Amino acid sequence: MISRVGFITVLFICACVISICLFLSSRPTRSAAAVTFNTDIAPIIFTNCAACHHPGGSGPFSLLGYQDVKKRAKQIALVTESRYMPPWLPEPGYGQFAGARRLSDEQIRVIQQWIAGGMLEGSPADLPSLPEFKEGWQLGEPDLIVKMPQPYSLPAGGTDVFRNFVIPIPVPKTRYVRAIEILPGNKKLVHHANILIDRTQASRRSDEQDPGVGFSGMDVAIESERFDPDSHFLFWKPGTVPWAEPEGLAWRLDRGTDLVLNMHLQPSGKPEVIQAAVGLYYSDQPPTRYPMLLQLERDGAIDIPPGKKDFVITDDFTLPVDVDVLGVYPHAHYLGKELEGFVKLPDGTKQWLIRIRNWDINWQAVYRYEKPIFLPKGSVISMRYSYDNSADNPRNPSRPPKRVVAGNKSTDEMGHLWIQVLPRTQPGATGATVATVATTDLRIVLQKELMQQRLRKYPSDFTAHFNLGAAEQSEGKIVEAIEHYRLALRAKPGDVAALNGLGVALLNSGKPEEAIVYYRQALSRKPDYADAHYNLGNLLLAQNRPEEAIKHLREVLRLQPEDAGAYNSLGSAFGMQGDSTQAANYFEQSLRLDPDNADVHSNLAQVLATQGKLTQAIFHYEESLRLDPDNADAHNELGVLLANQGKLAQALVHFEQAVRLNPAHANAQENLKRARQRLK
Ligand code: HEC
C-alpha cells in the first residue's frame, strides 16, 4: 500500500490592472517614394498584427483593410516604433523563441515612410490575399470539450478580476493530453489564463466556500502527488496558436481530476457574461519524457524603498544533472523593468536564456525555445531582475511611490523565473552508455538541489524542508525524511501536510504507533483531509482493526467519491470482517474506476473464490496476472482453483511459475509436488 504524501507547488499568477500605451514623439519623417499599402504595408500587418486585429479577435479594432490602417496610421507608427506592438517582450539575440513576433527595424521604417509619402493605397493587384481566421478551435475539433459549469458575470467596470473556475473532467479512464485550448467566448475579456490540474479536489472546496461562480485569488497552491503534469506550462493567451506538446511529452490526465482555470479578466465597459470552454486534445502515447519546472526567485529580498530606480535581485542555481531547456516563464509585477536569465557554462562561457529590457506584465507569456538548449551538469543558471519604484515608471501603481515588498497583490512585487527542463537520463553526445543514475528519477535530484538552494537563501524555510522530506522519502531515505519533516513542523507548527508526511515517514521506519499520533493530529486540525484519512485507514487495516479503518476510508470516499484506492482498501476491510458480499462490491467499484489494477483483480478473485464463484475468480486472477505476470501468490492461488476444477495440467504451469518467481514459496512448492504426483 502506497501512502500519500505530496510536494507543494505554488503557481503565482498575477494581477495586471492598467493597460498603458506609450506615447512617443514621432521622429522627423524621411521622404519616401512609392511605398504603398498594398505592396509594403499589408504584408507587414497581415503577418504581424492581424492575428489579434481582425473582427472577433482580441485586439480592440480590425486592421485588415486599407481604411482601417490609414485611419490609425500615426498611432501605428508610434506603437511599432516603441515596440509596444506587436506585443513581444524578449530582446532579439538573447534566445530563439518559437512564434517570435517582432518587427524588424526595416519594417518599422517602411511604415513611417508610407505615412510620410501620403499613405498611398497602391494597385489592387498587389494586395496579398487576406489572412484567414478560423473561428472556434484552432487545433481542430478537440477530443473532449468541457465547459465552466455556470456562466460568470463580469461587471462593467472596476479593476481587473482574477477568478478561478473549477471544471471537473469526465474521463472514464486515464488519458494523455498533448494540447489544451480555451474558447473564452469573448476574447477581449480574457487577458490570459493559466490552467492548473488538481488531483486533490481541494479547489472544489475553495469553490464551495466562495459565494458565486468560482473563487477569487491571483495565486493558487496545489499540493501535487507527483511532478507531472504540474511541470508543463499550461498557459493560454488570445491571439496565439495553442501549444501542442512534442512527441513523448503528453501529460497524464486521471479520472477524478479537476481542471482549474485561473483567468485574468478585464471589464469591457458593459456587463458581460463569461462561460469559457476548454478543449483537450489526446495523444495515444503515454509520456516517455518528464519535464521539470525549476524556479529561480528572490522574493525574500524584495524590499524596495519609494523612489528607488534600479533595485536589483538575483538568484543562482547550479545544475546537478544534464538538462535540455524547453521554455521559460519570467514573472514580475508592475515595477519590474529589466528581466534577465542567463547561464554560466562549465567552460566559463555565457549563454543567454532570455532578456527583457522593458517588462510589461500585461504581455507576460510563456516563451518556448525553437530548439531546446542543452545545459551540462555544473552549469550555473542565474536570474537578475531590476525594478523601478520611482514616479518616472509610468506603470507604478502607487502615486506617490511607496515602499514595496513581496506579495500577491498588484501593488506588491515578485521576481520569478520558471524554467522548464528535461533532465537527460543518458549521457549527451556520445550516447554510448546508459547513465548509472537511469533508475533514479532525475527530477528528484533536481528537486533536492532546488530545495537545498532555497535553504541557503532562507534557512529553516518550511517549503524547502517539507519538499526535502518528500524527496528523501521517495528515495527511501527515511531518517533524512523524518528530520526534514520535523524541521518543517518547527517552521510551521501544526501544518497538516507536514504532520501527514511525518506520519508516513514514521510508519516506513517501523513506528506505526507514532505515525497514528501524527495522522490524528493532522485530522484534528483538518477533519476533511482526505490523504490523512486514507493513510490512517490503511494503517489501521494493516493492524487488523477493520472497524476503525472503515470509518476513515468512508471519509475518504465522502471527500473524494472517485478514489479507487479507498474502494480497494474498504474491500479489504470488509473481507477481513468476513463480509464477502460487501468486499466484492467495493473491489468491483475500485475496478470500475481503475480497471488496470492488478492487485484489486487478485483481491476480488480471492473473495469470489470464497463465495464459490470459481469461473469469475479464475477470470480475475488471469486479469491480474496479465497486468502483473510476476505475482507468485496470484499464480499459486490460480493454480489451486484450476486444480479444484480438475484442470491439473494448467494448474501445474502456474505452480511452476510461482516457484520460479519465489523459490521460498512453501505452499506453491507443496502444490507443485502434489500436482506432479496426481498427473503421473
Ligand atoms: C497578440 C495580439 C496582438 C497583436 C499581434 C497586435 N496587437 Fe495591437 N493590440 C492588441 C490589444 C489586446 C490591444 C489593446 C490593449 C492595449 O492597448 O494594451 C492592442 C492595441 C493596439 C493599438 C492601440 C494602442 C493604444 O495606444 O491604445 C494599436 C495602434 C495597435 N494595437 C496596433 C498594432 C499593430 C500595428 C500590430 C502589428 C504590428 C499589432 N497591434 C499587433 C493586441 C495585439
| 382-435 residue pLDDT tens | 999 999 999 999 999 899 999 999 987 778 899 999 999 999 975 443 333 333
Measured from the CB, is residue 18 less than 6 Å from ligand 1?
A: no
Q: Say which DSSP state 411 is in.
A: T
Omega of the bond prior to 86 within 30 degrees of 0, cis? yes
Q: Quick one: which H or E segment has residue 352?
A: strand 350-356
Q: Where are the beta strands (DSSP E) in 251-310?
A: 251-253, 258-265, 272-274, 277-283, 292-297, 303-304
Question: Is the pLDDT at 174 greater than 50, yes or no?
Answer: yes
Determine if ligand 1 sits within 6 Å of the CB of residue 76: yes
Instruction: Report whether pLDDT(230) > 90.
Output: no
What is the predicted pLDDT for the residue at 160? 75
H helix runs in 322-397, sequence order:
none
- Predicted pLDDT at 670: 95
Q: How confident is the model at residue 218 (pLDDT cuts 50, 70, 90)?
A: low
Say if ligand 1 is within 6 A of residue 59 CB: yes
- The residue contributing the CA closest to ligand 1 atom 35 is 76
State the residue for C-alpha cell 470464497. 610
Contacts for 432 with CB less than 8 Å, ≥ 6 apart: none
Nearest to 370 by CA among 180, 181, 95, 179: 95
pLDDT tens readout for residues 287-321: 888 899 899 999 999 999 999 999 999 999 999 99
CB atoms within 10 A of CB 262: 23
The CA distances from residue 254 to 16, 566, 599, in Å, are 33, 16, 19
Contact at 8 Å (CB) between 639 and 621? no
Question: φ and ψ at 393, to 5 degrees?
Answer: -75, 110
Residue 386, beta-bridge partner list: 312
Tell me if 547 sits within 8 A of 578, measured CB to CB: no
Is the CB of 49 inside a 6 Å radius of any atom of ligand 1?
yes
Helix (H/G/I), strand (E/B), else coil: 71 = helix
* Residues 259-279: tens digit of each pLDDT: 988 888 888 889 999 999 999
pLDDT tens by residue, 580-589:
999 999 999 9
Report whether residue 54 contacts ligand 1, using a CB cutoff of 6 Å.
Answer: no
Pick the CATH number of 292-430+439-450 from 3.40.50.150, 3.60.21.10, 3.40.1160.10, 2.60.120.230: 2.60.120.230
Domain(s) labelled CATH 2.60.120.230 in the chain stretch across 292-430+439-450
What is the predicted pLDDT for the residue at 371? 95
In the block, cell 487495516 appears at 541
The answer, yes or no, to whether residue 531 has pLDDT greater than 80, is yes
Mutational test site, ligand 1, from 23, 47, 49, max ligand atoms within 8 Å of CB:
49
Q: What DSSP element (H or E) covers 167?
A: strand 161-168
306 Cβ neighbours under 8 A, 6+ residues apart: 389, 398, 400, 401, 402, 403, 404
pLDDT band (50, 70, 90) for residue 8: low
Overall fold of domain 459-679: 1.25.40
pLDDT band at 6 (very low <50, low <70, confident <90, very high): low
348-390 pLDDT, tens per residue? 999 999 999 999 988 888 999 999 999 999 999 999 999 999 9
Q: Judging by beta carbons within 10 Å of its beta carbon (0-12, 13-18, 19+), is residue 408 exposed, middle or buried?
A: middle
256 ligand 1 Cβ < 6 A: no
**19 CA: nearest ligand 1 atom:** 18
C-beta separation of 375 from 322 below 8 A: yes
Percentages helix, strand, coil for the chain (3-state, rounded to 5) are 40, 20, 40
Atom of ligand 1 nearest to the CA of 21: 26
| Cross-strand partners of 145 | 279
Ligand 1: residue of 85, 114, 188, 361 to mutate (most ligand atoms within 8 A of CB) is: 85
51 CB within 6 A, ligand 1: yes
Closest listed residue to residue 9, CA positions, set 260, 193, 177: 260
Ligand 1 atom with least separation from CA of 51: 5
Nearest to 229 by CA among 279, 179, 184: 179
Q: Which of 101, 142, 122 is nearest to 41 (CA)?
A: 122
pLDDT of residue 161: 79
Q: What is the average pLDDT across 530-539? A: 96
Q: Which residues contact 400 (CB under 8 A, 6 or more apart)?
A: 306, 391
Calpha distance 377→446 (Å, rounded) = 11
Whether 188 lines ligand 1, by a CB cut-off of 6 Å, is no
- The answer to whether residue 326 scores a pLDDT higher than 50 is yes
Residue with cell 479593476: 159
- The pTM assigned to this predicted structure is 0.83
For the CA of 111, the nearest atom of ligand 1: 35
Q: List, in order, residues 6 or more apart from 50 with CB less than 8 Å away.
A: 57, 63, 64, 131, 133
Q: List where CATH 1.25.40.10 sits in the chain.
A: 459-679
Residue 52 near ligand 1, beta carbon < 6 Å: yes
* C-alpha dist (Å) from residue 214 to 116, 152, 230, 273, 455: 52, 8, 21, 14, 35
Dihedral over alpha carbons 252, 255, 257, 258 (to 10 degrees):
120
Say if residues 458 and 406 touch (Cβ distance below 8 Å).
no
Cis peptide before 229 (omega within 30 of 0): yes
Lowest mean pLDDT among 171-180, 445-454, 568-577: 171-180
CA distances from 108 to 79, 90, 113, 115 (A): 10, 17, 9, 11
- From CA 567, how far away is CA 572, in angstroms rounded? 9
Which CATH code, of 2.60.120, 1.10.1760, 3.30.460, 2.40.160, is assigned to 7-16+136-283?
2.60.120
If we measure between CA atoms, which residue out of 278, 175, 290, 295 comes closest to residue 229?
A: 290
